[in-house]
Structure 1
Amino acid sequence: MIPQPPPTALDKIFTARVTVGAVDDYGQTRAGHRRIVSILGGRLSQGIDAEVLAGGADWQIVHTDGTIEIDTRYSARTDNGELLHVRTRGMRTGSPGVLEALLAGESVPASDYYFRLVVTIETAAPTLAYLQNSLLVGAAARGADDVVYDAYRVR
């Protein structure tokens, strides 16, 4: 008998609104075209309520076609004082004009580009520990000063 995979679904875990700083462009490095964007704060809501703490960053690699590899790491503190270490990895891509508009801080509908993430959470919080053993994915949008994404657990 051939094993059958189980049915899957997505359960929304939270919405993140992460306030970001200016883009620091390091230029072409050994790893590629490196940019780093500071994380200044923000909020997780709609499932997990937590303050995004300042001090994280997004370490980006920009490819020649404008596609950006996303690699963020930041901390959040729940309203109960529990700490979360959040990491997202993914990509943002689109047409050259759309990517230029985003870089210039212009408002661009999220349907005009592709911005998807894999989200990893580390925590000692007993009620959230199950997230450490779950596959989380996200769909994101970029604003002038923030990134907003919905995080989902694959069931």
Structure 2
Amino acid sequence: MTLTPAVPGLEPTFDVTVRVGNVADYGMTRAGHRRVIDIVGGEITGSIHATILPGGADWQLVRPDGTLDIDGRYSAATASGELIYITVSGVRGGSPETLEALLRGEAVDPSQYYFRTTLTLETSAPSLAHLEQSLFIASCVREADAVRYRAYRVT
């Protein structure tokens, strides 16, 4: 008997607003053009309610065509103090004009660029343990001082 793998689906799970702060542009390093963006706060709503804590960052590499490789890591806390560690990996790309407008902090229609990420979550809270047993993907929007996204659980 040959077993057929299930076809994955997407289940909307939670919404996130990550407030960002300073951008440190390291220029061309041995790894490529490096930028580090401070995470200063935010919130998670939906199946999880939590506050994003200051202190995380997004360690980006800028490709020669302007596309960004996203490597974000930050923490969130629920109202009862349960901690969630979030790791985000992804890509933001588009035309040179669109990417330059985003870098200037201008409002750009999300249909004009590609911004998708994968998320993994870690927690020791028993009530949130189910988050560690799933993969999540997100469709993101870059604003002048924030990144917003909807996370979907891959079923």
Q: Name the TM-score class by shorter chain.
A: over 0.9
* 1:144, distance to aligned residue in structure 2 (A): 0.2
How many pairs align? 155
The TM-score with structure 1 as length reference comes to: 0.97
Alignment of 1:1-150 (within 5 A): 1-150=1-150
Q: Name the CA distance, whole Å, in 2 between partners of 1:63 and 1:51.
A: 32
Cα distance in 2 for residues equivalent to 1:137 and 1:127: 21
> What amino acid is the match of 1:119?
L
C-alpha distance in 1 between matches for 2:76 and 2:83: 6
Q: Distance in 1 between matches of 2:117 and 2:67?
A: 14
Q: Which runs of 5+ in 2 are unaligned?
A: none
Q: Is the 8 A contact 1:137 1:154 kept in 2?
A: yes
- For 1:129 and 1:10, the matched residues in 2 are separated by 20
User: d(CA) in 2 for partners of 1:12 and 1:116?
Assistant: 14
Question: What displacement does 1:89 show?
Answer: 0.2
Question: Which stretch of structure 1 is more off in the superposition, 52-61 or 8-17?
Answer: 8-17
Identical amino acids, percent of aligned pairs: 52
SS at 2:44 equivalent = strand
| Superposition deviation, residue 147 in structure 1 | 0.1
Cα distance between partner residues in 1 of 2:22 and 2:105: 10
C-alpha separation between the residues in 1 aligned to 2:142 and 2:96? 15
